[in-house]
Chain A
Amino acid sequence: MAGGIFAVLLIAFVVAMATQAVPAFSKLGVSFLWGSNWDPAHNHFGVLPFAVGTIETTVIAVALAVPIGLGTALALAYLAPRRLRAPLSTAVELLAAVPSVVYGLWGLVAVAPLFRTTVEPQLTSVLGWTGLLGGPNQGVGLLLAGVILFIMVLPTMVAISRDVLAAVPHDQVEGAMALGATRWQVLRKVIVPGARVGLLGAFTLATGRALGETVAVALVIGNSAHLAPSLKANAGTIPSLIVSSFGEASGTQLNVLFAAALVLLVVGIGVNALARVFVRSVKRSGAASVTVA
């Protein structure tokens, strides 16, 4: 019953987006989806820079969130002194409740200046050779957006990972200990593999949130319609494009924005579906279940 409602909702989303997007496709074909020139005044509607910006910010956020989130979750579930675990866990959960516009404003007024004066110059001096950090240090841009996104997805990542790590059966832990495993070996060889299905769920949720986050990104990414030549450059994402230009958009531009939203929706569903397929294959191989006579 409830599942049916959600299915209907999902179809309703796709239909609504598609209806509004169709004029864009009939007028421009599909090539605008990978065109790199966004100039509505001259009827150029290349969405590629925003698609790339979405992927880049998401990759930065998830690449930071996976190791740091997993480490924090392990600490909260197994390593931190017992009396600190509950207050730290509560703090993490509270962070998940902070509205995204607050993260965005904080990023703009507090983190951006720090990036301009300290983080970006330091990073450039260490990693400048990669060629990813050209251009001026300006605070806002692709890198800041990725980092703010990382901070936003971290609580979700930590809270779910901690729960699934703590749910690994204690007899598995004891089994490893009894064979002479060190604490680190127990964590790495037994607890993390035992929780991998749930960890994948945390990863998927974090990715989904990073892909779709709108307001905070729009505030700190600098909103440029060009492919970013550097991590420090201004850029845009599909959600930030929609939120920043929807108000003035009309005609074909409006239809293109819906088409872009449709692409984002399909990608979001795709990420989820991939994760499900993976989870199912892991389960089928017997890894997820412990059987006892």
Chain B
Amino acid sequence: MTEPLTTPAHIAQSIGLTTEEVFVGHHAGAAKAMRLENVTVTFGGRAAVRGVTFDAYQREVTALIGPSGSGKTTLLRALNRMHDTVRSAAVTGTVMLGDTDVYGRSTDPTLLRSRVGMVFQRPNPFPTMSIYENAVAGLRFNGVRKKSLLDEAAESSLVAAALWDSVRDRLKVHASTLSGGEQQRLCIARALAVEPEVLLMDEPTSALDPIATKRIEELIGELKDRVTIIIVTHNMQQAMRVSDRCAFLLMGEDRTGELIEFNSTSKLFSEPDDPRTLDYINGRFG
């Protein structure tokens, strides 16, 4: 007789997986959508976030959490090369998108950004464009001209962003007539229309009311089969609700953000490996 399988370690052993894989509910060899290795972002020689290493898995939501100043947003913006426009900014280490080296010599940043979408803190639809034009703006930037393709993409991305039913009859109306929550969902639709592999979300609900926030969170859950999501949030409850894995960042003594712990969300919030994570999730600082 074998002993009853009671602990995660037992279960893991019995089916040939590590404890970690069982916790996350993931089979071995889960595909990595994005890999960060020793990533450091500096501004004018001063590091804002240093030495971050973790992987973001396909069909998962990875949350970056931590108090303000811990470099969450700075790190996120390094993943689609948004720091390129800041002259004093430099990114070192390795960021891989599938087999593509994000900072490789032959990598075109505009092409890269069509594979790694981004949704910002404040909804930023293009105010001079209609709802329809906003939804297909990325496709137009990428040279798609065919009306049937654009129509199809507009509908499917607006459906995916749970906005289609409320805007289908007013697609030609300016995007600025939408509510804040609708504008943010339009921004999500706009990002999805390009069919990115990864969607970066930088505190996407921080400018929204609780009801609009709830709808965006539900949307994140629906989208993760379609696109790998990496989300920055200052809200721990939100991280618990939407994410599969969590990266906890903290500002060190030299005011540089560092990765303290990367773990499955359930483990990080129940029995974190690092005492500083425990202090943070218990609200002792931040």
Known: A178-B82, A179-B138, A292-B122. A287 touches B127 (CB 8 A): yes
A250 at the interface (CB under 8 A from B): no
A292 neighbours in B (Cβ, 8 Å)? 122-123, 180, 183, 207
The digit string for B61-85, where 1 denotes a CB below 8 A from any CB of A, is 0000000000000000000101001
Distance (Å) between the CB of A288 and the closest chain B CB? 7
A180 lies within 8 A of B138 (CB) = yes
B181 neighbours in A (Cβ, 8 Å)? 293
Distance (Å) between the CB of A66 and the closest chain B CB? 19
B117 lies within 8 A of A181 (CB) = no
A289 neighbours in B (Cβ, 8 Å)? 127, 176
Distance (Å) between the CB of B184 and the closest chain A CB? 8
B174 lies within 8 A of A285 (CB) = yes
Known: A177-B82, A180-B110, A180-B194. A172 touches B124 (CB 8 A): yes
A178 lies within 8 A of B80 (CB) = yes
Distance (Å) between the CB of A254 and the closest chain B CB? 50
A185 at the interface (CB under 8 A from B): yes
B176 neighbours in A (Cβ, 8 Å)? 286-287, 289-291
B127 neighbours in A (Cβ, 8 Å)? 172, 194, 286-290
* Complex alpha-carbon distance, A292 and B121, angstroms: 11
* Complex alpha-carbon distance, A185 and B110, angstroms: 11
A residues 16-71 with Cβ under 8 Å of B? none
Interface centre among A180, A182, A196 (most CB of B within 10 A): A180
B87 lies within 8 A of A171 (CB) = no
Interface residues on A, range: 20 to 34
Distance (Å) between the CB of B78 and the closest chain A CB? 13
A179 lies within 8 A of B128 (CB) = no
- Residue of A177, A287, A290 touching B85 (CB-CB under 8 A): A177
- Residue of A172, A178, A293 touching B212 (CB-CB under 8 A): A293
B141 lies within 8 A of A176 (CB) = yes
B122 lies within 8 A of A171 (CB) = yes
A179 lies within 8 A of B114 (CB) = yes
A181 neighbours in B (Cβ, 8 Å)? 110, 138, 141
Residue of A nearest to B176 (CB): A286
B110 neighbours in A (Cβ, 8 Å)? 177, 180-182
* Complex alpha-carbon distance, A189 and B181, angstroms: 24
- Residue of B111, B142, B191 touching A178 (CB-CB under 8 A): B191
* Complex alpha-carbon distance, A177 and B84, angstroms: 11
* Complex alpha-carbon distance, A291 and B179, angstroms: 8
A166 at the interface (CB under 8 A from B): no
B190 at the interface (CB under 8 A from A): yes
B59 neighbours in A (Cβ, 8 Å)? none
* Complex alpha-carbon distance, A171 and B114, angstroms: 17
Distance (Å) between the CB of A168 and the closest chain B CB? 10
Distance (Å) between the CB of B81 and the closest chain A CB? 9
Known: A174-B124, A292-B122. A179 touches B177 (CB 8 A): no
A182 neighbours in B (Cβ, 8 Å)? 110, 141
A200 at the interface (CB under 8 A from B): no
Distance (Å) between the CB of A77 and the closest chain B CB? 14
Residue of B nearest to A175 (CB): B124
- Residue of A180, A286, A288 touching B141 (CB-CB under 8 A): A180
Interface centre among A177, A178, A194, A289 (most CB of B within 10 A): A178
Distance (Å) between the CB of B44 and the closest chain A CB? 14
- Residue of B85, B111, B124, B177 touching A180 (CB-CB under 8 A): B111
A residues 269-291 with Cβ under 8 Å of B? 285-291
- Residue of A169, A189, A287 touching B137 (CB-CB under 8 A): A189
* Complex alpha-carbon distance, A193 and B175, angstroms: 14
Known: A175-B124, A179-B194, A194-B127. A82 touches B87 (CB 8 A): yes
Residue of A nearest to B80 (CB): A178
Distance (Å) between the CB of A143 and the closest chain B CB? 36
**Closest 8 CB pairs between A and B?**
A293-B180, A180-B114, A179-B138, A178-B118, A286-B174, A193-B128, A171-B124, A181-B141
7 A-B pairs with C-beta separation under 8 A: A174-B120, A180-B141, A193-B126, A194-B126, A196-B128, A287-B174, A292-B207
Binding site for B on A (CB under 8 A): 82, 169, 171-172, 174-182, 185, 189-190, 193-194, 196, 285-293
A174-B82, A174-B118, A177-B85 known, 10 other contacts, Cβ within 8 Å: A82-B87, A171-B124, A172-B126, A189-B137, A193-B129, A287-B127, A287-B176, A290-B124, A290-B176, A293-B209
